[in-house]
């Protein structure tokens, strides 16, 4: 009997394993909930809405941070930077490069 068959039988019998599940989706009491400002905005052309993201990339010894500025419509990476520390310098540099290369996003 394989693991998928066991999972199917457990679902059919309505039993589940007992373990602590992550509670990352529960809001903290008293924390403000900010509105999503782009909910009713139709993104219809390039250079209309940009997004910026920071993530980490695992390496052989530790990890590095990757900062990227993205265009929502074309899903193109406008600028990016790598950093070994989580500081504002690479973020500002990537945003400055995107602004210099493509101009500010037009509403």
Return d(Cα 82, Cα 55) in angstroms, integer.
10
**67 confidence band (pLDDT: 50, 70, 90):** very high
- Predicted pLDDT of residue 95: 97
Per DSSP, which regions of 1-107 are E strands?
A: 50-58, 63-71, 77-83
- Predicted pLDDT of residue 1: 86
**68, 77 in Cβ contact below 8 A?**
yes
Mean pLDDT of 40-46: 91
Please check the confidence at residue 21 and state whether its pLDDT lies above 90: no
- Predicted pLDDT of residue 78: 97
- Predicted pLDDT of residue 28: 83
Q: What is the pTM of this model?
A: 0.68
Residue written as tokens 């490069």? 97
Cα–Cα distance list, 18 to 1, 15, 21 (Å): 21, 9, 9
- Predicted pLDDT of residue 22: 78
**17 confidence band (pLDDT: 50, 70, 90):** confident
Please check the confidence at residue 79 and state whether its pLDDT lies above 90: yes
Output phi, psi for 39, to 5 deg: -60, -45
């Amino acid at each position: 009997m394989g693991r998928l068959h066991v999972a199917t039988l457990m679902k059919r019998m309505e039993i589940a394993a007992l373990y602590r599940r992550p509670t990352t989706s529960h809001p903290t009491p008293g924390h403000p909930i900010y509105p999503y400002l782009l909910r009713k905005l139709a993104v219809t052309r390039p250079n209309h809405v940009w997004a910026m993201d920071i993530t980490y990339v695992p390496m052989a010894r530790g990890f590095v941070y990757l900062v990227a500025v993205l265009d929502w419509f074309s899903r193109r990476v406008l600028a990016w930077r790598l950093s070994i520390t989580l500081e504002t310098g690479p973020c500002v540099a990537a945003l400055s490069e995107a602004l210099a290369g493509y101009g500010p996003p037009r509403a």
